[in-house]
Amino acid sequence: MSIKTILRSVMAAAIALIAFNACEKQKDYGKDLPGCWELITITGFEQRPEIYMEFVSDGSFILYQRFGTNTSFSRYEGSWTLSGDQLSGKYSDGSPWGSVYKIEISDGVLFLSASSEESTYRKITQIPADIQISNL
Amino acid sequence: MSRNRLTILHMAVLPLLLAGCNGRTSLVEEIHGPVPVIGSADGADGSRILVQTSDIESAAEGLSYERLFPSTPGKEAIEHKYGLDTWYVVSIPEDKDVREISGRLSQNKTIRSIEYCAPLTRPTESDKLQVEDLALSTKAAKEPVTMNDPLFKSQWFLFNNGDKSMFGQNCVAGCDVNIKDAWSLCAGDPSIIVAVVDEGVKYTHPDLAANMWTNTEEIPDNGIDDDGNGYVDDIHGYNFADDGAISWSKSGDDGHGTHVAGLVAAVNNNGTGISSVAGGSGKGDGVRIMSCQIFSGGRNDNSAVARAIKYAADNGASVLQCSFGLGRYYSDRAFSESLSAVKAAYDYFRAPENANSGVTDGNIVVISAGNSHNNFAEYPGAYRDYICVSAISQDNLPAWYSNYGPGVNIAAPGGDNTFTLTMLSTLPSELKGNDYGFMHGTSQATPVVSGIAALGLSYAKQLGRHFSRDEFEAMILSAVNPLEDRLTGSKMGPASSFDLATRKGGMGTGVIDAWKMLMNVEGVPFVTVKTGSDASIDLRPFLGEDAAALTIKEVSISSKDREAIGLTTEPAVSAGKMSIRCTKAGAARITVMAVAGGATEGTDTEMGGKLFSRTISIVSRENISSNGGWL
């Protein structure tokens, strides 16, 4: 195999890789994100907090969170924006999220990462009714 | 003299000497033999004495006797554990002198303790706080009321809109227990029972009857102890002072028990009379009142108190409401040794085996601090196990009469007779021709706290929450609004002014707030801190609004939790804030222990505050939002 052939192959592979990555970046998570999600792992936490989120396609979200068993869930709501794979948002009181998250969704699992923190959420059909009722 | 006898004599003489040094009441009446005789024969019931022994046959020396605490079926083991099966009432023959018999029995080595059946004093008596005639303003409060009880507008301690024409020139809007907000979550639960240890409660009162506890195992008025609990016809409680039916309008009664009961749980939203802290929403959901009568026509003694407390424990009460004092003692040990039957009954009431609410692992005792404007609380309230309540008035300042200082744990509205209105509640109409009237005192502040404790238990039941007794008491002590910053300058009493600075650190953790109590039941939210940065955590949500004024005894975190958040330096608490630096993302729990009331905790020998602990959940993350939201 000549050097020219080898270079041609390498170039073709590089172009294919770039093209593949470009396709990945263009993946529309805006269609996959709406729905309900439950936190299943997060780096650094031995005992994960209870986090339930519902992203609505109109750009709003509802969040329920609880740490420890003998407390109530706290409810937050606000709006989200997706730009490519960058998910950002703000709460209804005007507070911005703590970070802009890099998002990835695959096989019903949502990956969010920011700085060195990585968290995964599984898709659920709905937020458990008892959690919502406790926050009425 | 044997070593044992010497020790016992020392134990007996030492308090006497200590008492002599500071001019205070002596514990020991006479020392005839190895057994000290506690109390004074002067004014005591000459027909009987209390004797503690494990061998009553030998101890009684032929005298007739009965158990002080009737045994309750199924409770025998617990009674034994707390020594209640060793207390007896020994009858004194008519031709004998109680002092002579006590002296003789004190030689009997089978006896552990002898107490006179001594009359008790109510804290109100020293100041002779009067029941005032009902003279209500017809003006409506500026804010709408939540309940439809017509007299609610005059109950400033429940809702104070600052209407000076109604509540007095110096009243302060918001000086109340924030009950309207609390009621939006919970107004009571009929399974929660508050024992009112006091004068008899008028259980037929139109604004109380529906919220009276009823002993369904007893058939009324048949003269038989149907349920075998040792008391005949105890339908809504029992009259331990007279050993019979509950009464409320004998000569010498002033309606104190009925007034206290109304503050806890008069029926809400029934279109009648007053509202109350935990009286429900008008749907039969108020907490229940058990009348444990220890005063009757001014008559009472320590044996009645002891029996009443045990009865409350055995019959389902989870809050013991005690607006009385049992004399002046100056240390926990002096109280315990002087009134050991009463102390045993309190221990029994708080015991985990007798936890009645299904929420906590022990029952809650709430007691008044006393009305002698002394710089120490009266006993039993001052004892470190119980929640001891001081009083404020509608100017959001200490009431002139309220005791303060060592032994006091928390403040609550108790009224003040220098104002137009004091504390409006239910009264027996037989006394002054009216079903309602005003009183003031720490006696009135105490049922406000008891009611809020009962409301907290009700809400916990509603949410399915469980707490240790200590946790729940800490939640009460930290459910407070601030008081310390206002203790400057002077305030007028009925005769002269007093320096408010003298009350600093002496009124307890702050002024009780019902909404904050229910928020504590819901659970204090976690605190999020940024990993790798210095953080300052405001402790007010955990220790109450006066957190900066509290003495912090200890900050603790387990080694596992320390590792979880990468804590390399100890958390430090100062001026109501905790400084912390987490080097790792993770979650941990940090416990802060503080003193409720004063700078030092009470011990056997020194009066002081009550230790309480709150646990703070810390979440360390790199990415945190300013409002605590997860994203």
Pairing of strands B111-116, B48-53: antiparallel
Report how many Cβ contacts below 8 Å link chain A to chain B. 88
| Selected residue of A47, A87, A97 to mutate for chain B interface (largest B Cβ count, 10 A) | A97
pLDDT category of residue B21 using cuts at 50, 70 and 90 = very low
**CA proximity to B146, closest of B176, B184, B172, B185:** B184
**Does A135 lie at the interface with B, CB-CB under 8 angstroms?**
no
Interface of A with B in 39-78 (CB under 8 A): 42-47, 49, 51, 53, 63, 65, 67-68, 70-72, 74, 76, 78
Q: For chain A, which ranges sit under pLDDT 50?
A: 19-20, 22-24, 135-136
Distance CA B551, CA B594 (A): 6
**B146 to chain A, closest Cα gap in Å:** 19
pLDDT at B261 over 70: yes
Distance of CA B501 to the CA centre of its chain: 26
- CB contacts, 8 Å: A53 with chain B: 630-631
Return the top range by mean pLDDT from B330-334, B388-392, B515-519, B551-555: B388-392
**CA proximity to B340, closest of B11, B19, B39, B24:** B39
Interface of B with A in 511-550 (CB under 8 A): 522-526, 531
Contact B525 A74 (CB under 8 A): yes
Residue B416: both structure tokens together: 């003040």
Contact B617 A51 (CB under 8 A): no
**B179 to chain A, closest Cα gap in Å:** 19
- CB contacts, 8 Å: B623 with chain A: 97-99, 114-115, 117
Amino acid at B486: R
Q: Which of A65, A72, A115 is closest, CB to CB, to B630?
A: A65
**Does A120 lie at the interface with B, CB-CB under 8 angstroms?**
no
Contact B629 A97 (CB under 8 A): yes
pLDDT at B6 over 70: no
CA–CA–CA angle B76, B82, B84 (5° rounding): 65
The predicted pLDDT at position A13 comes to 59
pLDDT category of residue B145 using cuts at 50, 70 and 90 = very low
pLDDT at B175 over 60: yes
pLDDT at B49 over 80: yes
**CA proximity to B262, closest of B252, B273, B253:** B273
The predicted pLDDT at position A30 comes to 85
Q: Which of B619, B622, B629 is closest, CB to CB, to A116?
A: B622
| CA-based nearest residue in chain A for residue B621 | A117
- By CB atoms closer than 10 A (0-12, 13-18, 19+), residue A124 is middle
**Does B623 lie at the interface with A, CB-CB under 8 angstroms?**
yes
pLDDT (tens digit per residue) in B430-447: 998 999 999 999 999 999
Q: Which of A68, A91, A97 is closest, CB to CB, to B617?
A: A68
**Does B584 lie at the interface with A, CB-CB under 8 angstroms?**
yes
Taking residue B170's Cβ as centre, other Cβ atoms within 10 Å add up to 17
pLDDT (tens digit per residue) in B112-132: 989 988 777 665 533 334 444
CA–CA–CA angle B221, B226, B230 (5° rounding): 100
Burial B414-445 (b: 16+ CB within 10 A, else e): bbbbbbbbbbbbbbbbebbeebbbbbbbbbbb
pLDDT category of residue B8 using cuts at 50, 70 and 90 = very low
The predicted pLDDT at position B43 comes to 78
Contact A49 B630 (CB under 8 A): yes
Contact A76 B619 (CB under 8 A): no
Contact A117 B625 (CB under 8 A): no
- As a whole number, mean pLDDT of residues B584-608 equals 90
**What is the radius of gyration, based on Cα positions, of chain B?**
25
**Does A133 lie at the interface with B, CB-CB under 8 angstroms?**
no
- As a whole number, mean pLDDT of residues B5-33 equals 35
- As a whole number, mean pLDDT of residues B184-206 equals 96
The predicted pLDDT at position B356 comes to 97
The predicted pLDDT at position A12 comes to 59
Interface of A with B in 75-94 (CB under 8 A): 76, 78, 89, 91, 93
The predicted pLDDT at position B248 comes to 96
Contact A76 B564 (CB under 8 A): no
Q: Which of A95, A101, A117 is closest, CB to CB, to B621?
A: A117
**What is the radius of gyration, based on Cα positions, of chain A?**
20
pLDDT (tens digit per residue) in B382-416: 999 999 999 999 999 999 999 999 999 999 999 98
pLDDT category of residue B236 using cuts at 50, 70 and 90 = very high
- In the DSSP assignment, the letter for residue B327 is -
Residue B209 or residue B622, greater confidence: B209
pLDDT category of residue B27 using cuts at 50, 70 and 90 = very low
Residue A46: both structure tokens together: 């031995």
Mean pLDDT score across all residues of chain B: 87
- As a whole number, mean pLDDT of residues B531-554 equals 91
Q: Are the C-beta atoms of B402 and B410 separated by less than 8 Å?
A: no
The predicted pLDDT at position B121 comes to 62
Interface of B with A in 413-472 (CB under 8 A): 463, 465-467
pLDDT category of residue B373 using cuts at 50, 70 and 90 = very high
Q: How would DSSP label each residue in A58-91?
A: TSEEEEEEE-SSSSPPEEEEEEEEEETTEEEEEE
Distance CA B578, CA B247 (A): 53
pLDDT (tens digit per residue) in B454-497: 999 999 999 888 899 999 999 999 999 999 999 999 999 888 89
Contact A114 B586 (CB under 8 A): no
pLDDT at B96 over 50: yes
- CB contacts, 8 Å: B624 with chain A: 98
